[in-house]
Amino acid sequence: MPDPQSVLAERVHSALVTAFGPDLTGTDPVVRPSQFADYQSNVALPLAKRLRRAPREVAAAIVGGLDVRAECESVEISGPGFINFTLRDSWVAEQTRSLLGDPRLGVPAAAHPQNIPIDYSAPNVAKEMHVGHLRTTVVGDALARTLDFLGHRVIRQNHIGDWGTPFGMLIEHLLEAGEDSAEAEKLRTDPNAFYKAARAKFDADPDFAGRARRRVVALQGGDPETLRHWHELIELSKSYFNRVYRTLGVTLTDDDLAGESTYNRWLAEICAELEDAGIARISEGALCVFLDEFTGREGKPVPLIVRKSDGGYTYGTTDLATVRYRVQELKADRIVYVIGAPQGLHLQMVFATARKAGWLPDTVEPVHVQIGNVLGTDGKILRSRSGESMRLMTLVDEAVRRAGEVVATTRPELDDATRAHIAEQVGIGAVKYADLSVSHDTEYVFDFDRMLALTGNTGPYLQYAVARIRSIFRRGGIDPSAVRGPIAIGEPAERALALHLLGLGAVLEQVGELLEPHRLCAYLYELASAFTTFYDQCPVLRAPDAAVRDSRLALTQVTLDALVLGLSLLGVSAPEQM
């Protein structure tokens, strides 16, 4: 275990148990990065209260039983009772060297692997994906990749909108246009145009509207011919989704599809069970679940409607079915919903209802990873249903175009194909990283210039660090896998870089627990920053002697591996050159 924070936490924990008895087993040693040393433990202060002793006295007792001679150059008690740790350069160097050639870079696999269904992306059939979809797709994919790397059993669930009343008009429109028509082709390339055309006909032509309504009935009734057309519609949309996912480098495939229609067969049963158990009752003609803890206007209880007065089911019913399915069939330990923040109340009600119905045992934790709204520069929410929203592919194309302009001026010597490839990696990386680098639950203003900025905490900055490292190996004609070290810490920039490299495991563990990819972004940015300082101050190929050169090559190699791994967990590509 190369991570100093874990090592020190373990040592402090056993020291405090030794000093104060086994009652304190499990006490968090509160080891944190420090501005006054490498790490500090804050545990003595809260412990002092519990033990009714002076904080510094408690700290002294802990330090007395502490054996960190191998790791630390000094351990000091400071201020009101902080324990400051300064690591030995030799230890830092050796731990960093142990990361060479380690595909996990010292990151331990989860001690208790969980089954984790993760629900994200969820675009609608015959609808363009917009910036909101982009965010849940990108954040969800990063979480899926990270949880997977940490050793959990991740089950991706793409809950696409493939059912509901609009499908009557969509199917009718498809029938009129013909399955092989140019109009049908729009489902693959420009789904909103297809949707709008269907909508326009529905609004303007009463005969068409009538056929659309009858078509909905036929669809729900399981009419084979109608179902065939419905499948065709889904197939066309799937190819659109997959094209977007491929372009963006998102891991979702057809195997992960679990759309709304998947749950149709259980909806009647869900309602019947709820009604029989007395959890749901008829109100104003609709079957509703009322829970005491949820009240709305004038203190009236807010219903979760599971069956409308016309007999149709709602997304609440479907969502209850997802909970039940994920617990019973997927054996979930934790269920992750990467869904817009405005759905918070709805999901809470779904979870509470599922608990009451016995579909969600206390051992299973549902988590809503709230995705904040993306605002336009006018400060208003970008929504697909009202008005125009920016087409996702337009946004991506624009990002790639702007990146291409930069590459054209900085690397005129490269051929067009190579420049285009770089522009795509950088442009898409910039867009994805912008979504990932701020906390997922806050809303933010969508701004081309900011997300495409080539300095600061951005994708291109991290990619540039990768490109420069690869350039070193190319220029030196060095096979990265032949780098052996050993590492010797000389310059402050070398020490800072090495120390930072050892912290990857702690960050990833945190991301896995809190489901916050922006913490990985912050870590990688700091790492890239530490590297560029090192790059600036410590020549690698032109190092003063062979030993220093080997040491710096080893540091460089581990940095490359960490950046590439981190970026891959975010779903951002790591270019060969920029």
DSSP letter at 381 equals: B
Alpha helix (H) ranges present in 150-177? 166-177
Tell me how far, at minimum, the Cβ of 106 lies from RNA, in Å.
Answer: 16
| Rounded-to-integer distance, Cα 563 and Cα 21, Å | 42
Q: Which is nearer to RNA, 99 or 371 (CB)?
A: 371
Tell me how far, at minimum, the Cβ of 185 lies from RNA, in Å.
Answer: 25
Q: Which is nearer to RNA, 74 or 181 (CB)?
A: 74
Tell me how far, at minimum, the Cβ of 43 lies from RNA, in Å.
Answer: 8
What sign does the CA torsion over 512, 513, 515, 516 have? negative
| Rounded-to-integer distance, Cα 84 and Cα 274, Å | 57
Tell me how far, at minimum, the Cβ of 304 lies from RNA, in Å.
Answer: 9
| Rounded-to-integer distance, Cα 551 and Cα 540, Å | 9
Question: What angle is formed at CA 267 by the lines to CA 261 and CA 273, rounded to 5 degrees?
Answer: 160
| Rounded-to-integer distance, Cα 321 and Cα 262, Å | 10
Burial letters 150-188, b for 16+ CB under 10 A, else e:
bbbebbbbbbbbbbbebbbbbbbbbbebeeeeebbebbb
| Rounded-to-integer distance, Cα 466 and Cα 308, Å | 55
Per-residue CA distances from 106 to 89, 508, 555 (Å): 18, 11, 15
Q: Which is nearer to RNA, 43 or 177 (CB)?
A: 43
| Rounded-to-integer distance, Cα 432 and Cα 420, Å | 18
Q: Which is nearer to RNA, 320 or 472 (CB)?
A: 472
Q: Which is nearer to RNA, 193 or 478 (CB)?
A: 478
Structure tokens at 308: 């409308």
Tell me how far, at minimum, the Cβ of 316 lies from RNA, in Å.
Answer: 8
Tell me how far, at minimum, the Cβ of 32 lies from RNA, in Å.
Answer: 6
| Rounded-to-integer distance, Cα 346 and Cα 361, Å | 19
Q: Which is nearer to RNA, 199 or 468 (CB)?
A: 468
Tell me how far, at minimum, the Cβ of 455 lies from RNA, in Å.
Answer: 3
Q: Which is nearer to RNA, 209 or 302 (CB)?
A: 302
Structure tokens at 168: 């009557």
Q: Which is nearer to RNA, 455 or 481 (CB)?
A: 455
DSSP letter at 298 equals: G
Q: Which is nearer to RNA, 184 or 351 (CB)?
A: 351
| Rounded-to-integer distance, Cα 492 and Cα 483, Å | 22
Tell me how far, at minimum, the Cβ of 310 lies from RNA, in Å.
Answer: 6
Dihedral angle at the C-alpha atoms of 135, 137, 142, 146, nearest 10 degrees? Answer: 140
Tell me how far, at minimum, the Cβ of 511 lies from RNA, in Å.
Answer: 10
Tell me how far, at minimum, the Cβ of 399 lies from RNA, in Å.
Answer: 11
| Rounded-to-integer distance, Cα 222 and Cα 200, Å | 26
Question: Long-range contacts made by residues 289-295, C-beta under 8 angstroms, separation at least 24?
Answer: 289/349, 289/353, 291/349, 291/352, 291/353, 291/356, 293/352, 294/345, 294/348, 294/349, 294/352
Tell me how far, at minimum, the Cβ of 406 lies from RNA, in Å.
Answer: 4
User: Nearest to residue 486, comparing CAs of 536, 561, 557?
Assistant: 557
Q: Which is nearer to RNA, 117 or 517 (CB)?
A: 517
What are φ and ψ of residue 180, in 5° steps?
-105, 15
Tell me how far, at minimum, the Cβ of 147 lies from RNA, in Å.
Answer: 18
Half-sphere exposure of 366 (CA within 13 A, CB side): 26
Q: Which is nearer to RNA, 321 or 565 (CB)?
A: 321
Per-residue CA distances from 434 to 72, 109, 457 (Å): 38, 28, 9
Q: Which is nearer to RNA, 45 or 185 (CB)?
A: 45
Q: What is residue 186's three-state secondary structure?
A: helix
Q: Which is nearer to RNA, 42 or 226 (CB)?
A: 42
What sign does the CA torsion over 17, 19, 23, 24 have? negative
Q: Which is nearer to RNA, 177 or 527 (CB)?
A: 527
Tell me how far, at minimum, the Cβ of 468 lies from RNA, in Å.
Answer: 5
Tell me how far, at minimum, the Cβ of 180 lies from RNA, in Å.
Answer: 29
List strands edge to edge, sheet with 72-78.
31-33, 39-41, 82-87, 72-78
